[in-house]
Chain A
Amino acid sequence: SQQGEEDPQALSIQEGENATMNCSYKTSINNLQWYRQNSGRGLVHLILIRSNEREKHSGRLRVTLDTSKKSSSLLITASRAADTASYFCATPWGNQFYFGTGTSLTVIP
């Protein structure tokens, strides 16, 4: 399977704290993507990082990529209750996207 694996499976933090979640994958990639899924909804694309990039920012999101370790991390700074959701990494492989099992983030107000 080309599936990525997120770590931890679940994370609970206080509002205002930073949240970090990690993704490991198995094969060579040309990009890696992070998605958010609110309860009962579809996935929403957050950010894409290309294989020749090491870090990328978008608002309160910071993504890093280490292709030598086949891993990526997503940092959400100054978390808000509205950030409560599941977060998935996705690795395109050929014409397909493979998703991990996700990190469930709970931000406590």
Chain B
Amino acid sequence: NAGVTQTPKFRVLKTGQSMTLLCAQDMNHEYMYWYRQDPGMGLRLIHYSVGEGTTAKGEVPDGYNVSRLKKQNFLLGLESAAPSQTSVYFCASSWGNSGAFFGQGTRLTVV
């Protein structure tokens, strides 16, 4: 039982490049989330999903897209990376509001 797995763990992008972060959970959770964590800012919600085939915007969705084609996977895409997207990205999943399980994070640097 791996819980929530994020890939990759580290990535360096050049400005304008694109990439996809993958999140996989094996707990059959309906809800999945993508957060970014920046120093002094706490965790900010980018996008979330309440079930397969659904997505919704969070606090800071601009510059990101997501897809939830399978219940266990939630993908976060950056179409044209910018230095402001340098951050640590966390995926989480949950059964409703009862408590979230987090992945180990992806440290992304955009140069």
A joins B in a complex: yes
Q: What residues of chain A have their CB less than 8 Å away from a CB belonging to chain B? A: 1, 3, 30-31, 33, 35, 40-45, 48, 88, 90, 92, 95-102
Within the complex, which residue of B33, B42, B97 is in contact with A30, where a contact is CB–CB below 8 Å?
A: B97
Taken together as a complex, chains A and B put the C-alpha atoms of A41 and B43 apart, in Å, by 13
Asked if B103 and A95 make an inter-chain contact with CB atoms under 8 angstroms apart, the answer reads no
Total interface residues in chain B, CB < 8 Å: 26
Within the complex, which residue of B45, B103, B105 is in contact with A97, where a contact is CB–CB below 8 Å?
A: B45
Asked if A100 and B42 make an inter-chain contact with CB atoms under 8 angstroms apart, the answer reads yes
Given known contacts A96-B33, A96-B58, is B101 in contact with A45 (CB within 8 Å)?
yes
The residues in B between 60 and 111 inclusive whose CB is less than 8 angstroms from any CB of A are 90, 92, 94, 97-105
B35 contacts across to A, CB distance below 8 A: 99
Given known contacts A30-B97, A101-B40, is B45 in contact with A96 (CB within 8 Å)?
yes
- Say yes or no: is B13 at the interface (Cβ < 8 Å to chain A): no
A sample of 30 inter-chain contacts (CB < 8 A) reads A3-B42, A30-B97, A33-B99, A40-B105, A42-B4, A42-B104, A42-B105, A43-B43, A43-B92, A43-B100, A43-B102, A45-B100, A88-B42, A88-B43, A92-B97, A95-B48, A95-B50, A95-B56, A96-B33, A97-B45, A97-B92, A97-B94, A97-B97, A97-B100, A98-B45, A99-B42, A99-B43, A100-B42, A101-B41, A102-B42
B45 to chain A, nearest CB (A): 6
Asked if B99 and A48 make an inter-chain contact with CB atoms under 8 angstroms apart, the answer reads yes
